[in-house]
Amino acid sequence: MARSTSKDAQDLFRALWSAYSATPTNLKIIDLYVMYAVFTALIQVVYMALVGSFPFNSFLSGVLSCVGTAVLAVCLRIQVNKENKEFKDLAPERAFADFVLCNLVLHLVIMNFLG
Amino acid sequence: MALLSITFFVTIVFDECINTSDDGTFYFDEKLVGGHEHQGSISTTSSVVRGVFAFAAVTSGKINLPGDKILGLAKFFLGIGIPGDAKDLFNQIESLALLESNRQVVFQEQHIVVKISIPLILSLPASVYSLSNKDQLKVRVNTVLGSAAPPLTVKLVRAFSTVAKDSAVIQNKDLKYDQNSGHHVLDVLPDKVDVGIYVFVFEMVLHDADGEKVYATGGQIHVPIYVTGIVKVSNAEIAVLDNDLGSIETQKTLDLAGNDIVSLSANHLQKFRFSFQLTTPRGHAFMPHQAFLKLKHETKYEHIFVVGNAGKKFEIVLDFLGLVEKFYYLSGRYDIELTVGDAVMENSFLRPLGHLELDLPEAPTSKAPRLPPLAVDPYTRYGPKAEITHLFRTPEKRPPTQLSLIFLSLTLLPLIGFLVGLLRLGVNLRNFPSSAAPATYAILFHLGIAAVLVLYVLFWLKLDLFTTLKTTALLGVFLLFVGHRILSHLATASAKLKSA
For residue B215, what is the domain's CATH number?
2.60.40.10
Residue burial B286-316, b: 16+ Cβ < 10 Å; e: rest: bebeebebbbbbeeeeeeeeebebeebebeb
CA distance B475 to chain A (A): 11
CA distances from B461 to A59, B192, B335, B468, B473 (A): 17, 103, 75, 11, 19
Q: Say yes or no: B236 and B347 in one domain.
A: yes
Say if B417 falls within a structural domain: no
Total number of domains in chain B: 4
CA distance B414 to chain A (A): 5
**CB distance from A26 to chain B under 8 Å?**
no
Q: Say yes or no: B349 and B445 in one domain.
A: no
**CB distance from A89 to chain B under 8 Å?**
no
Residue of B315, B238, B311 lying closest to B279 (CA atoms): B311
Q: Which residue of B has its CA nearest to A47?
A: B407
Interface confidence (ipTM) of the complex: 0.84
Range of the domain at B167: 120-228
Total number of domains in chain A: 1
Q: Say yes or no: B213 and B240 in one domain.
A: no
Say if B360 falls within a structural domain: yes
Say if A4 falls within a structural domain: no
CB contact under 8 A, A40 and B415: yes
Q: Which residue of A has its CA nearest to B475?
A: A104
Per-residue pLDDT reduced to its tens digit, B159-214: 888 888 888 888 888 888 888 887 888 877 777 788 888 888 888 888 887 777 77
Q: Say yes or no: B291 and B343 in one domain.
A: yes
Q: Say yes or no: B212 and B274 in one domain.
A: no
Q: Say yes or no: B108 and B182 in one domain.
A: no
CB contact under 8 A, B468 and A44: no
Residue of B117, B125, B118, B182 lying closest to B144 (CA atoms): B118
Q: Say yes or no: B237 and B353 in one domain.
A: yes
Range of the domain at A92: 25-113
CA end-to-end distance (rounded Å), chain B = 143
> Which of A28, A39, A51 lies nearest to residue B403, judging by beta carbons?
A51
Q: Which residue in B396, B411, B472 has the most chain A C-beta atoms within 10 A of its own C-beta, making it the best mutation to test that interface?
A: B411
CA distance B464 to chain A (A): 9
- CATH code of residue B345: 2.70.50
| CA angle, B111 then B116 then B119, to 5° | 110
Q: Say yes or no: B248 and B279 in one domain.
A: yes
Q: Say yes or no: B239 and B357 in one domain.
A: yes
pTM of the predicted structure, to 2 decimals: 0.53
Pairing type for strands B349-359 and B332-341 reads antiparallel
3-state SS assignment for residue B432: coil
CB contact under 8 A, B476 and A104: yes
Per-residue pLDDT reduced to its tens digit, A69-112: 999 999 999 998 888 888 888 888 888 888 999 999 999 999 88
Say if B256 falls within a structural domain: yes
Residue B66 has a pLDDT of 76
CA distance B460 to chain A (A): 6
Residue A76 has a pLDDT of 93
Say if B388 falls within a structural domain: no
Q: Say yes or no: B244 and B315 in one domain.
A: yes
Residue B52 has a pLDDT of 82
Residues of A within 8 A of B491 (CB-CB) are: 91, 93-94
Say if B56 falls within a structural domain: yes
Counting residues of chain B whose pLDDT is more than 70, the rounded percentage is: 86
Q: Say yes or no: B360 and B242 in one domain.
A: yes
Low-confidence ranges of chain B (pLDDT < 50): 32-36
CA distance B491 to chain A (A): 6
CB contact under 8 A, B418 and A36: yes
Residue B33 has a pLDDT of 42
Say if B111 falls within a structural domain: yes
